[in-house]
Amino acid sequence: MEYEAVIGLEVHVQLKTKSKMFTDAPCYYGADPNSLTNPVVLALPGALPVLNREAIKKTIQSGLLLDCEIAKISRWDRKNYFYPDSPKNYQITQAAQPLCVGGMVEIEMLGASRNTMGHHRKVQLNRIHLEEDVGKLTHYENDSIVDYNRAGTPLIEIVSEPDLYNEEEVFAYLTALRNLLVNADISDCDMEKGQLRCDANISVRKKGESRLGTKVEIKNLNTISGVKNGVAYEIQRQIDSLESGETITQETRRWNPEGGFTVSMRTKENAHDYRYFPDPDLMPVKIEDAWVQELKAALPESPFEKQRRYMEKLDLPYTITSVLTPDRELSQFFEDTIAIENKPKAVANWITNEVLRYLSEAGDFGSLSIKESKVLPEHIADLVKICEAGTISNQIAKDLFPEIIKTGKLASQIVKEKGLEQQSDSGEIEELCKKAIEETPKAVEEYKAGQEKAINAIKGKVMKATKGKANPKIIDQILRGLLD
Amino acid sequence: MSEEIFYKTAAELSDLLSEKKLTSVQITQAVINRTKAVDNQVHAFLSFDEKDALEQASASDARREKGEPLSDLDGIPIALKDVISHKGQPLSASSKMLKDYISPYDATSTRKLKEAGAVVWGRLNLDEFAMGSSTENSAFDQTCNPWNLECVPGGSSGGSAAAVAAGESPLTLGSDTGGSIRQPASLCGVVGMKPTYGMVSRYGLAAFASSLDQIGPFARTVEDAAMLLQTVSGHDPLDSTSVQVEVPNYRKELREKKGPWKLGIAKEYFAEGLDSEVKESVMKAVDFYKSMGCEIVNVSLPHTDLAVPVYYIIATAEASSNLSRYDGIRYSSRAKESEDGVDLYFKTRGEFFGPEVKRRIILGTYVLSSGYYDAYYLKAQKVRTLIRQDFLNAFEKVDAIITPTAPKPAFKSGEKSKDPISMYLSDIFTISTNLAGLPAISLPCGFSNTGLPIGLQLIGQAYQESNLLSIAHAFEQGHDYWKKTPILESFN
């Protein structure tokens, strides 16, 4: 029997705002426990919520990026449940009238190989609503402690339709969503900091059936690989159950990343009754069309649009565009560089090889961001320019790179100071070539026997003799002239 | 006019202060001494901070000395119902749940009073979390009606009303969710006003039912109430339900506006269950207005009988959610022994909430439950719209509606506490205005044969507090019920 999984995702994303959703308490990661609080955050008697306009703006922007319909009027509801991480013991959310309705996420599946673009598809969305995050609980043997710094952080919930069909699609969906939101500066989407969290609703049915199977909600999918593994596990668990003649129970299960399995948290009978009702402390929000149009006009180009443009207009290979386009800072750096030196391919090669290698080695905690580093578009533009002009070889350029970063000087300046200009005097190089042929009889023999690559050993000898300053194209010409 | 400082009106005290015939310290000390002398009978106060009050008074006198008073209320003592936050002072809401809670911040009303230079002092008793009509639901003390200590002062702002009636503070603030300012004002023979919903910020008021709660003034005269209302009204960016309207100069307008007005009488407010003496007093008031040239018009408020059930659905639904924050985790009282988180909730809320609060939380939880929401909460909201529409229709014909404030004068302590329904019905004339969000004022209009005060209620159009105050002021000018004071023997 062949089975098919149907998956819907609920993705929670923390918005990048200065202050919290319903009060002016500041909002950032890593502060001392319970320092980002005030009467509203702690739900003291008499505290009242007021809306954060920036959070509404970022939610509308998300909706526009994902082709949602933006509500004209949006309302606030209370979701009532008791839990110590929730100071009011209710969460302010949007159950009945969310800010964004419908929409879709463009995803890219893995291509046939690393170098080819994969299939693109649009996954249908149900809605995006705005709500507030809860605090953080830490459990000890006899106690639990709670930190309310995170409580009240603006949080959007992006709810998909059941329109994903395997763990690879889930992975592609989360990747696309994260790239899009980070690119638009809506969120940093750092899963390790809890800025992007995902619950999955999974059901399985016989292939060809149109009716959905019983759905199971999976929680605690806290890393991208966790999501992929958790979803894969749960699909197989359900198929195995059906195969052995069992029925699927509607329930909520928790992914155990250490053990690699899901365990039941609660069944439908024990589901919460959240007793939603309109929050009487907040007025409905009226969204002016002019504002929406203004935000729409100012939206950044999406990573996929950018990728298509780089491939079509700049003739860059897929592999390089897939490195440049998901990262807005990097693609901005690329564009700033080609604005100075309009050699897209050479510039892109420099960025995706040397610059990225340097950034990954330079960071104390993971990769350094290009903005934090000292590399400027001017540095790369200058390097590309003098390489293309033949002033220095690519090898020398690569060797110079650490010094450029250390001193902040342009390559052309260092080359001049150190006299590193490439030797293109063919008379002098010819003498060195002849000498090298004499010193490497084995390589010469191999080359003449048809082993093309053997010439590299002879070239290396010449390069060494010139300390890398000879123009490799000229060496190649002369050697072939002497040998052939 | 009374010779005693503590029975002078805020307006008189304000004049005496500006004429340098009295200092704020003298006034504040007089009020504190009065409280020390009679509060062991009245029990209006849960606590007060004498040192802090006198310091504020000294600061006020220093401002006067420099010729820089902040407002007419600079130096006048104003006490707060124990649900309004005052930084550094306790806020218990008369509940064991908040027995040891000290508010770390000022309510917007408190801040505005401080900015006006008032001496903000004292915490006044109430029904626990403002749930009740007799102040018998306080977990800490039973406030007595100064006119007859065996009677209740009404509620839930019983302490605020009794304190003014007994000369323990010339002005107090209360809160009104279904009549909690007007009904005790009526039972204690003082002026109490609930402003239009949104006129006074709720920031810092421990919530009972968010869509109904309003802070409002208690005073001995309409003019005093106008001064206090003026000070606490106005838009507040910290309360999303606060409205952006200009606050008129109530005190000035109340002297200028002389009528005549078109006043409405609704038969629904003179139905069965209304005490005959109350009815008689209110009808006399109607005659008074007629005699001053006002046109009296019959209006109909056909959905009045649905107000009490609708109120007990909406108010309890909101309360069940608002009171969830009292969970033993952060600042409220916490049960000593508990097995786990859920057990902590059960034990804490079981131990520290009183029976009426529990009754309302259970009721509110029920009406919001899946499967019952449409039948109760949603339907109640629809009826609420009808009740509001009734008033809109009536106000096409009249400037204000005259009703009794409460069906009966003050009742004996314990008389209704075993029968919640009969207790709920004591708010039958006040609840509709909260559901409609309208302003209403209660002022003394007579006394029963047993010497208990009777109150007259005037209901006005939204944001027409000024009209309402002027109409009330006109009645007060023609009568001297407000000048009568209860006889309280000082045992000190």
| DSSP secondary structure, B250-276, as one string | HHHHHHH-----EEEEEGGGGSTT--H
Which CATH number among 3.40.190.10, 1.10.10.410, 1.20.120.450, 1.10.645.10 corresponds to the domain A426-483?
Answer: 1.10.10.410
Residue B256 lies in a domain: yes
Q: Which of A87, A89, A275 sits opposite B365 (nearest CB)?
A: A275
Distances (CA, A) of A122 to A119, A161, A172, B279, B410: 10, 11, 11, 72, 70
Contacts of A146 in chain B (CB under 8 A): 329
Q: How many domains does chain B have?
A: 1
Question: Cβ B101–A45 below 8 Å, yes or no?
Answer: yes
B160 is annotated as an active-site residue: no
Set B81, B112, B408, B416: catalytic member: B81
CB A250 within 8 A of CB A268: yes
Residue B489 lies in a domain: no
- Degrees, nearest 5: CA angle A66-A71-A74: 120
At position A461, the amino acid (one-letter code) is K
> Which band of pLDDT confidence, cut at 50, 70 and 90, is reported for residue B492?
very low
| ipTM of model | 0.96
Strands of B291-410 (E only): list them.
295-299, 400-404
First-residue to last-residue Cα distance in chain B: 24
Beta-carbon count within 10 A of A97 CB: 18
Domains of chain A: which residue ranges?
3-292, 301-418, 426-483
Residue B179 lies in a domain: yes
Determine the pLDDT at residue A10.
Answer: 97
Q: Tell me: the pLDDT tens digits for A429-439? A: 888 888 888 88
Give the range among A304-308, A397-401, B156-160, B450-454 with minimum mean pLDDT. Answer: A397-401
Q: Which of B240, B318, B325 sits opposite A87 (nearest CB)?
A: B325
Q: Which of B206, B239, B329 sits opposite A45 (nearest CB)?
A: B206
**What's the DSSP call for residue B146?**
T
Give the C-alpha separation, B136 to B187, whole Å. 14
Residue B106 lies in a domain: yes
C-alpha closest to that of A280 among B433, B435, B303, B108:
B435
Which of B173, B212, B324 to mutate to probe the A interface, most A CBs <10 Å?
A: B324
Which of B321, B377, B434 to mutate to probe the A interface, most A CBs <10 Å?
A: B321
- Helical axes A441-448 vs A472-483, angle rounded to 10°: 70
Mean pLDDT along residues A114-119: 91
Question: Cβ A46–B238 below 8 Å, yes or no?
Answer: no
> Which band of pLDDT confidence, cut at 50, 70 and 90, is reported for residue A425?
low
| DSSP secondary structure, A310-357, as one string | HHHHS---HHHHHHHTT-HHHHHHHHHHHHHS--HHHHHHHIIIIIHH
Residue B321 lies in a domain: no
Q: Tell me: the pLDDT tens digits for A36-56? A: 999 999 999 999 999 999 999
**What's the DSSP call for residue A248?**
P
Mean pLDDT along residues A133-155: 94
Q: What are phi and psi of A430, to 5 degrees?
A: -60, -40
CB A101 within 8 A of CB A68: yes
> Which band of pLDDT confidence, cut at 50, 70 and 90, is reported for residue A389?
confident
| Mean of per-residue pLDDT scores for chain A | 92
Set B24, B94, B175, B180: catalytic member: B180
Domain extent, residue B164, equals: 5-260+461-483
CATH number assigned to the domain comprising residue B183: 3.90.1300.10
> Which band of pLDDT confidence, cut at 50, 70 and 90, is reported for residue B490?
low
Nearest-by-CA chain B residue for A277: B368
Residue B394 lies in a domain: no
CB B469 within 8 A of CB B225: yes
A245 touches chain B (CB under 8 A): no
Query: Is pLDDT at A401 greater than 60 in this prediction?
Result: yes
What is residue A157's three-state secondary structure?
strand
Query: Is pLDDT at A473 greater than 90 in this prediction?
Result: no
Nearest-by-CA chain A residue for B91: A45
Query: Is pLDDT at B279 greater than 50 in this prediction?
Result: yes
Q: Which of A45, A88, A283 sits opposite B240 (nearest CB)?
A: A283
Question: Cβ A280–B237 below 8 Å, yes or no?
Answer: no
Residue B468 lies in a domain: yes
Q: What are phi and psi of B73, to 5 degrees?
A: -90, 5
Distances (CA, A) of B181 to A264, A443, B130, B160: 52, 105, 10, 8
Contacts of B170 (CB under 8 A, 6+ apart): B6, B8, B9, B10, B13, B31, B76, B77, B78, B164, B219, B220, B224
Question: Cβ B325–A88 below 8 Å, yes or no?
Answer: yes
B186 is annotated as an active-site residue: no
> Which band of pLDDT confidence, cut at 50, 70 and 90, is reported for residue A424?
low
Give the C-alpha separation, B464 to A117, whole Å. 68
Distances (CA, A) of B431 to A406, B294, B308, B310: 76, 26, 7, 10
Query: Is pLDDT at A130 greater than 80 in this prediction?
Result: yes
| DSSP secondary structure, A187-240, as one string | ----GGGTSEEEEEEEEEEETT--S----EEEEEE-SHHHHHHHHHHHHHHHHH
B321 touches chain A (CB under 8 A): yes
Contacts of A88 in chain B (CB under 8 A): 324-325
Give the C-alpha separation, B282 to A299, whole Å. 65
Question: Which H or E element spans position B442?
Answer: strand B440-447
C-alpha closest to that of A132 among A184, A59, A67:
A59
Tally: H helices and E strands in chain B:
16, 11
A45 touches chain B (CB under 8 A): yes
Residue B82 burial by Cβ neighbours in a 10 Å radius (0-12, 13-18, 19+): buried
Give the C-alpha separation, B58 to B64, whole Å. 10
At position A89, the amino acid (one-letter code) is N
Set B24, B60, B156, B160: catalytic member: B156
> Which band of pLDDT confidence, cut at 50, 70 and 90, is reported for residue B1?
very low
> Which band of pLDDT confidence, cut at 50, 70 and 90, is reported for residue A291?
very high
Beta-carbon count within 10 A of B479 CB: 16
Give the C-alpha separation, B233 to B380, whole Å. 29
Contacts of B98 in chain A (CB under 8 A): 45
> Which band of pLDDT confidence, cut at 50, 70 and 90, is reported for residue A456?
confident
B242 is annotated as an active-site residue: no
Query: Is pLDDT at A151 greater than 60 in this prediction?
Result: yes
Query: Is pLDDT at A112 greater than 60 in this prediction?
Result: yes
Q: Tell me: the pLDDT tens digits for A175-188? A: 999 999 999 999 99
> Which band of pLDDT confidence, cut at 50, 70 and 90, is reported for residue A399?
confident
Question: Cβ B373–A43 below 8 Å, yes or no?
Answer: no
Residue B230 lies in a domain: yes
Give the C-alpha separation, A384 to A386, whole Å. 6
Beta-carbon count within 10 A of B6 CB: 22
Query: Is pLDDT at B10 greater than 90 in this prediction?
Result: yes
Question: Cβ A48–B239 below 8 Å, yes or no?
Answer: yes
